[in-house]
Amino acid sequence: MATATELAELQRVLGQLRSSVGVLRARYGDAPAVRRLHNDVERLDIDVAELASALPAQRRGTEVAGDVVVVPDTPYDPSLWRDADDEGLGGHRS
């Protein structure tokens, strides 16, 4: 899970990358490779913003009340297994 510090560092590095691509655009113009780099930086920026907005939801924990299934420790009713075969062991002989 990303922390706020990691996201801040990612945003800082992304700003440096954006600046570097700007220098490349100034030097090489609107070359296809420069356009692709620019688009990649924009997509990264969108993804980082999405991750930053999702961060508080992840901090609450991943467990949702509907995901927990309580299984009792009491023995099952033997009649549940009547006429059932143990796979690989043959029929139930009682």
Q: Residues 10-44: pLDDT tens digits?
A: 999 999 999 999 999 999 999 999 999 999 999 99
pLDDT single digits (tens) 82-93:
777 666 665 555
With a cut of 90, say whether residue 54 has pLDDT above it.
no
- Tell me, what's the pLDDT at 43? 96
- Tell me, what's the pLDDT at 60? 46
- Tell me, what's the pLDDT at 84? 74
How far is CA 29 from each of CA 17, 20, 25, 69, 77, rounded to the nearest angstrom?
A: 17, 13, 5, 60, 77
How far is CA 50 from each of CA 17, 41, 82, rounded to the nearest angstrom?
A: 19, 14, 54
Q: How confident is the model at residue 75 (pLDDT cuts 50, 70, 90)?
A: confident
- Tell me, what's the pLDDT at 72? 84
With a cut of 80, say whether residue 58 has pLDDT above it.
no
Q: Where are the domains of the chain?
A: 4-61
pTM of structure? 0.54
